[in-house]
Structure 1
């Protein structure tokens, strides 16, 4: 029997905790270390941090000690509004040490050729080459719901006029206040400028899945056009990161439109609500997380994928599980892959192993 792959999980938030539990269930994966940011988590059992049974693995904030373990792969799930600035140096250090990395953090790297920082991309590519390692980013949206699902459906197409991929989500479960409030503007008055409203931010955030789809279909995107809409709640909302006061932002919609041959051909739409009845004029869903693909072409194709139970509050957890498993299931494939920066176009279907165990 082949020895299990040695894995480190980098951070123990919602996605990282799911990864820890999932790795512990896999006979082909062996959790050997866990990195944490908070000093109060250092020394605690990784399984307990993930909300499960003890694993015997003590969390640490010592990156050098984890690198010294010589894991086959790091599952990188750290989050924050400055995630790339903090994450890229970590990626470089790990890759140079010969450690493969799968990440849910830097979502603009789901398609490395379109990464907004050529300098960082070159650093990552050089580090991967130096360490003979591979690097892969995925998730659910950006990730499977914003590119691979659509591309699978296009295999039925004779001609395509437009592809629209949409996430409609109830995100009252998400606990990271700085991302939700400062980054997206929830709980702020509409005259507050969140990070999303920074000129070019939406275009940068969604350029990668648009470029990935275009490349897969043999097209070239000449421009990405972005837009932001926000809507207020008429009552106080109690959510995971605190209270959203009445009269402040309770729903956000972003749209990024990729221009091909002068027409808006690839559209990525992201709708997030803090309660189902905010902004009822926008596309809605009976489930807490819905991923739609609408292809205007020959033939027209319409597909909706939901996660978790409808009309419940399990889809937030379901979406995080799907995000985590996109990279956990990819570990054996990334370890076996060619050296360098990978996208889903470079990978086979990352089918789950031992899913029925």
Structure 2
């Protein structure tokens, strides 16, 4: 154990949380001291077993006060669900006010706090962080690394930029939550159905943060954000984790959010999700779990594709979950040492995994 070991609790044991539990437990500079769970049937069980590994001697609890009483240096917040921020923000406030730093994969709109959709919540979080002398940092892979540090790093080669576009291309047939996939995104419905993604202003709100983060990094002002939504039908039944997508219903979704600079679409985020690889053959495709592209139209033109997981997607999304978890786990020492307040990737150095070879 290092002299400057950081004491850590992990909030939830879902896909990302389970990866974080194992990663923190394995790190010689981090000590896992507690794990929060939502389900009563998980309370009292060993966190190692809950995350699919050997017992590690850390017992899961649903008592937030118990975990706060442990006085950890940092909490890895990875809870998910339909409430997301509405359920998470009260937890963030309690942790920050108690002087506990927080790294989160839950609140993707907080990857760039100045553009957060709820100024009231943002002000409360800022006040709690200052009061507790603690810091908050949200990240992941997309929004997160693929739509901020990767894009900005590539832009360091640019003399002139007309447009910078970050794109995620993913096969999400493994995702089991029918409400999100069907009612939220429209999969399995005819095109006449209007999912939440088609709500006016929703796409602009969902992707505003990474657009404004890149704009800040590049020193430009965004005049407005324009959103677009497109779908493609499947011509056959597709069996997925949440059921069957019938032929003639939506099998692929594309969202596009464009930050307007000098009157043109200049900072663009695209998100392409398929339920099978052969749907929407005219859209960009990938043979991996997930591909994150950055394309810069400028001087010089730059095109970069980062592939996660095995070819043919045998990891069923685990690679993207692992990358998401490690974006915040690797940031823990940097966030603990940072000044109090709400942070973005622009406020931190490269959060290098100092103990990845341990």
TM range (shorter): over 0.9
Instruction: State yes or no: 1:50 paired with 2:51.
Output: yes
1:173-252 paired onto structure 2 within 5 Å: 173-252=174-253
- Give the distance between the partners of 2:61 and 2:196, measured in 1 at CA: 31
Indicate the residue corresponding to 2:310 in structure 1. 309
Deviation at 1:236, TM superposition (A): 2.1
Deviation at 1:152, TM superposition (A): 0.2
SS of aligned partner of 1:220: coil
- Give the distance between the partners of 2:46 and 2:182, measured in 1 at CA: 31
Q: 1:209 to 1:72 in 2, by over 3 A?
A: same
Deviation at 1:82, TM superposition (A): 2.3
SS of aligned partner of 2:24: helix
Indicate the residue corresponding to 2:137 in structure 1. 136
What is the aligned length? 357
- Give the distance between the partners of 1:37 and 1:195, measured in 2 at CA: 26
Indicate the residue corresponding to 2:124 in structure 1. 123
1:29-44 paired onto structure 2 within 5 Å: 29-44=30-45
Check the 8 A contact 2:289/2:319 in 1, yes or no.
Answer: no
- Give the distance between the partners of 1:202 and 1:68, measured in 2 at CA: 39
Deviation at 1:179, TM superposition (A): 2.1
Gaps of 5+ in 2: none
Indicate the residue corresponding to 2:345 in structure 1. 344
- Give the distance between the partners of 1:209 and 1:11, measured in 2 at CA: 25
Q: 1:153 to 1:3 in 2, by over 3 A?
A: closer
1:1-357 paired onto structure 2 within 5 Å: 1-314=2-315, 316-357=317-358
Deviation at 1:141, TM superposition (A): 0.3
- Give the distance between the partners of 1:295 and 1:222, measured in 2 at CA: 20
Deviation at 1:291, TM superposition (A): 0.6
Deviation at 1:146, TM superposition (A): 0.9
- Give the distance between the partners of 2:92 and 2:161, measured in 1 at CA: 37
TM-score, length-normalised on structure 1? 0.98
Deviation at 1:3, TM superposition (A): 4.3
- Give the distance between the partners of 1:182 and 1:45, measured in 2 at CA: 35
CA RMSD across the alignment: 1.1
Deviation at 1:242, TM superposition (A): 2.5
TM-score, length-normalised on structure 2? 0.97
Cα-to-partner distance string for 1:20-56 (whole Å, 9 max, x where unaligned): 1111110111111111111121112111111111111
Deviation at 1:289, TM superposition (A): 0.7
